[in-house]
Amino acid sequence: MPQRILLGDEAVALGAVHAGLTAAYAYPGTPSTEILEFLLDLEERHGGPHAAWCANEKTAYEAALGVCFAGRRALVAMKHVGLNVAADPFMNSALVATHGGLVVAVADDPGMHSSQNEQDTRWYADFARVPCLEPATQQEAYDMAREAFDLSERFGVPVVLRLVTRLSHSRTSVEVGEAREQNVVRKAPQPSTWVLLPGNARRQWQALVDRQAEITATMAASRWNALTLNAGRRELGVITTGISRNYLRENLPDLGWEPSHLHIGAYPIPADKVRALAAHCERVLVLEDGYPYVERLMRGLLPPGVAIAGRMSGEVPSTGELSPEIVRTALGIPVRAGVALEGFVLPNRPPQLCQGCPHGHAYTSLKEALLGYGATMVTADIGCYTLGALPPYSAIESCVCMGASIGMARGAAEAGFSPVAAVIGDGTFMHSGIPSLVDAAAANANMTLLILDNQATAMTGVQDPLVTSSRLREIVLGCGVDPAHLHVVDAHPRKVHENAAVLKRELDHPGLSVVIAVRECKVAAKKRARTTTAVTS
Amino acid sequence: MTYDIVLAGVGGQGVLSMAALIARAAMAEGLHVKQSEVHGMAQRGGAVQAHLRLSDGVIESDLIPRGAANLILSLEPVEALRYLAWLSPAGTLVTSANAFVNIPDYPAQEEVLRHVRALPHAIVVEAERIAEESGDLLAVNTVMVGAASHLLPLASASLEGAIRTTFNRKSEATQAANRVAFAAGRRAAS
C-alpha cells in the first residue's frame, strides 16, 4: 500500500477523494481549513474533484446537499462553531433521505487555540440523530472518511466526522488505498422525501427515529469500538474516545500494566460494551478530548453501579484539551520533571497584527475619531482584526460570533447608547454581516459600521475573497445604506487623520453610516506576488 | 528508539519549515514521524511551537509528554526558554542567539542568554550572522538544523539530502547558500 505524509485534515480530504468524492465545499476556520486547501490544490493539479470556498458554512452545507440530491458524494467541512451556522441545513438534512453520500467533517478546538468556545460536535450528531465517527489517528481519519460515505448511503443520512485540533494539525504517514469511482448523476428517486412539508416531515422524522435501532447496532458493532478486558485485574477500566487513546497508550509503559479498555470511535456509543466494561471493573476512568459526552451518558440521573472518574468528578480538568500529562495524572502516575527556569519570568508573546497591517492604521483612525466623547462603544467581529482588542490598540470591545458586530451595534444604539461603532472584515461581512446590515439600514440605526476590506480571509491562511472591493460597495448600497453616508477610504498610514475625520463626522450623524477602509492584507500581497512570479518563471 | 524535539520560535520565523526539514530526513531513513503544528491565530507574530517525534517504532501521542523531549530547537532565545518543562533533564537546548523583539517587555538580551547558558546542556548559535555569511539571511532555519545535526539520530547526509530536496526548485544561489548554511551551523555547534 502506498504511504502519504498527511495532516489529519489532509487525510480526511484524501479519504473522501478515494471514496469517490464529486464535490467539496467549506468556509475556512481553524483547525478545519486544510481539508479544503488540500482539495483545492488537488483540483488545480488534477482537474477534480470539485472544491470551492463558500460565503459561509450554511451555504457550503446546502451546496453539498445538492450534490447528494443529484446522487453523488459530497463533503462539507467546517470548524465546530461553523456547524452552528450550518445547523439549520444540518438538522434538517437528517430527515431527508440523502441519496449520494454526505459527510460533514467538523474540526473541534478543545483548549480554544483559535476559537471562542470548545463546543463538542458529538452532541450535534446526537441531536440530529446521525452517526458520528471520531478518528484517533491520521490513518483512521483517512479510513473513516472513506467509510463515512458508505454509512451515509446505507442509512440515507449525513455522517459526521469529528476531528480535534491535535489530530487535524499533526502530520504523519498514512497508508492509502485504491480510489473508488464517483457515483453517476442520478437524481434522488423520491422527491417527496426531500420536501419537508409537515406531512412529509412527520413521516421522515418517524422513519429516522425508527432507523435508530439499526444505526445504533451497526455503529456499536463497528471495528472502531474495541473492548479489551484484563481478566486478572478489576480495579480500573479506561474508556477513551478519539485521540485520548494515544495519550493512554503513551503512558501505559509507565503504568506498568494494561487496564481493561474500551475505545470508542463510532457513535451512537456502544452501550453493551460500556456495560460490559463497567461490570468487569470497580472504577472506570473516562478520557475525552472535549466535553464529558460519554461520561454524562454513563452517569445519567440515578447513581451509577460503578465508580466513574472523569471531567465531571474532577480526576480530569473540567475544561480544556487533554494532554499526555493530564492523562498521566488521571492514571495516578507522577508527571516527569522537565528542566526548571529559576528566578526568571518570561514575557508573554501573544499573537499580534503584522508590522504595517492596514487594520492597525484603521484602528488608529477609529481611536482618534472616538476621542472627545464620554463613553463610546465598539463592537467587533472575528478575524485578524480581533487582535485589535489587545494592546497597543485596545480598540474593540466585543467578539462573539461571525457577524455579531453589526446586530449588536444596532441593538446598543436602539438601547440609547451613543456613539456606537461596529468593526467587521470583508470576509466576515460576506459570511454573515449582510443580513444584519439590512436590519440596521431598515431601522436607520444610529451607528457607524467600519468594514475593514483587506481583500483576504487572512487569519485562516489568506484565502481569496469571493467578491472584489468594487462589488463590496455595491452590496452595501444594495442593503439600503444611504449613499451620502457611505464612504470608501484608503487605510494608508498617511491617511490616518483624514480617515479619522470621516469617521468622526459619521459618528456624529444621527443614523446609519458605513465606512469601508480598503487596503490589501500584506501577507496576501506577498502571496500574490509569489504566485505571479511562479507563473511567469 | 524515540527522539522528541520541541521546535520553537515566533510566528513567521519558519518553525514549521525547520520541522519539515528534519522530518523529511527522518523519513528518508525509514523512521516513523509525527509532527504536530500550530496554525491559525497563534501564528500571527506570537509564540509558536511544533512537536516533532521520530521513532523506529509506533508513535502514540502527537504531543511530546512533559519532561521527555531530547531536544529544544529554537529560532529565538526567549522562546527557547518557554518550553523547558518539556525538556528532559538529559536533553539539550539549541537556540539562535538572536532576539526577536516585538513585545514591549522583552528582557535584556544578555540576561536571556545568561539563563540559556546556565542550563546543563545548551548551545547558542549566532544564526543570523552565519546565515548572512552563507549568502542568504533567510537560511537561518538551515543554520539551526545544522547546529542540531550532531544531536539528531540522523546521518548528516540524510539532512543534506532533505535540504537538497526542499530547495531544488529554488535558485542556484539559494541552494548553495543553504548547503553552506548547514555546514556552517554544524561547525558552529561542534
Q: Is 90 exceeded by the pLDDT of residue A469? A: no
**Contact status, residue A287 vs residue A247, Cβ threshold 8 Å:** yes
What pLDDT sits at residue B77? Answer: 97
**Which chain B residues contact residue A249 at CB under 8 A?**
60-61
Per-residue CA distances from A482 to A126, A276, A444, A477, A514 (Å): 46, 67, 9, 7, 9
Interface test with B, best of A37, A168, A349 (most B CBs within 10 A): A349
What pLDDT sits at residue B141? Answer: 96
What pLDDT sits at residue B120? Answer: 93
**Which chain A residues contact residue B79 at CB under 8 A?**
349
Are B35 and A172 a contacting pair at CB < 8 A?
A: yes
Q: Are strands A260-264 and A237-241 parallel, antiparallel or unpaired?
A: parallel
What pLDDT sits at residue B38? Answer: 77
- Fold match, A3-220 / A358-525: yes
**Contact status, residue A114 vs residue A28, Cβ threshold 8 Å:** no
Out of A467-476, A477-486, B90-99, least confident range: A467-476
Q: What order of strands is seen across the sheet that includes strand A226-228? A: A226-228, A260-264, A237-241, A283-287, A307-309
What pLDDT sits at residue A150? Answer: 98
Given A246, A336, A353, which is nearest B67 (Cβ)? A336
Given A170, A336, A338, which is nearest B36 (Cβ)? A170
CATH of B2-188, one of 3.40.920.10, 3.90.230.10, 3.40.50.1400, 3.40.50.10420: 3.40.920.10
Interface test with B, best of A36, A81, A170 (most B CBs within 10 A): A170
Question: How many A-B residue pairs are in contact by the CB < 8 A criterion?
Answer: 151
Q: Collapsing DSSP states into helix, strand and coil, what is residue A170?
A: strand
The alpha-carbon gap from B78 to the nearest alpha carbon of chain A, in Å, equals 7
Q: How far apart, in whole angstroms, are the C-alpha atoms of residue A221 and residue A225?
A: 7
Per-residue CA distances from A97 to A18, A106, B177 (Å): 23, 21, 60
The helix or strand, by DSSP H or E, that contains position A535, with its residue range, turns out to be: helix A522-536
User: pLDDT tier at A533 (50, 70, 90 boundaries)?
Assistant: low
The mean pLDDT value for A100-120 works out to 96
The C-alpha cell 468594514 sits at A451
Report the percentage of chain A scoring pLDDT > 90: 90
**Which chain B residues contact residue A7 at CB under 8 A?**
37
Predicted model pTM: 0.96
Given B42, B65, B105, which is nearest A114 (Cβ)? B42
ipTM: 0.94
User: pLDDT tier at A534 (50, 70, 90 boundaries)?
Assistant: low
Question: What count of other Cβ atoms lies within 10 Å of the Cβ of residue A179?
Answer: 13
User: pLDDT tier at A343 (50, 70, 90 boundaries)?
Assistant: confident
The alpha-carbon gap from B45 to the nearest alpha carbon of chain A, in Å, equals 5
What pLDDT sits at residue A537? Answer: 43
**Which chain A residues contact residue B61 at CB under 8 A?**
246-247, 249-250, 324
Given B40, B45, B84, which is nearest A114 (Cβ)? B40
Are A250 and B106 a contacting pair at CB < 8 A?
A: no
What pLDDT sits at residue A467? Answer: 86
**Contact status, residue A26 vs residue A198, Cβ threshold 8 Å:** no
The residue length of chain A stands at 537
Q: Is 70 exceeded by the pLDDT of residue A206? A: yes
Query: Within 13 Å of residue A424, how many CA atoms lie on the same side as its CB?
Result: 27
Q: Are strands A226-228 and A260-264 parallel, antiparallel or unpaired?
A: antiparallel
Question: What is the DSSP code string of B6-72?
Answer: EEEEETTS-HHHHHHHHHHHHHHTT-EEEEE---GGGGTTSEEEEEEEEESS----SSPPTT-EEEE
Question: What count of other Cβ atoms lies within 10 Å of the Cβ of residue A376?
Answer: 18
The alpha-carbon gap from B153 to the nearest alpha carbon of chain A, in Å, equals 18
The mean pLDDT value for A486-496 works out to 97
Residues 6+ apart with CB under 8 A from A504: A368, A369
**Which chain A residues contact residue B69 at CB under 8 A?**
338
Q: How far apart, in whole angstroms, are the C-alpha atoms of residue A57 and residue A28?
A: 9
Are A33 and B39 a contacting pair at CB < 8 A?
A: yes
Give Rg (Cα) of chain B: 15
What top-level class would CATH report for the domain A226-330? alpha beta
Sequential pLDDT tens for chain B (190 residues): 999 999 999 988 999 999 999 999 999 999 999 999 876 665 678 999 999 999 999 999 999 999 999 999 999 999 999 999 999 999 999 999 999 999 999 999 999 999 999 999 999 999 999 999 999 999 999 999 999 999 999 999 999 999 999 999 999 999 999 999 999 999 999 8
What pLDDT sits at residue B50? Answer: 95
Q: Is 90 exceeded by the pLDDT of residue A91? A: yes
The residue length of chain B stands at 190
Are B84 and A247 a contacting pair at CB < 8 A?
A: no
Domain at A358-525: CATH code: 3.40.50.970
Domain at A3-220: CATH code: 3.40.50.970
The helix or strand, by DSSP H or E, that contains position B135, with its residue range, turns out to be: none
Q: Is 60 exceeded by the pLDDT of residue A535? A: no
Q: How far apart, in whole angstroms, are the C-alpha atoms of residue A377 and residue A57?
A: 29
In chain A, where the domains are located: 3-220, 226-330, 358-525
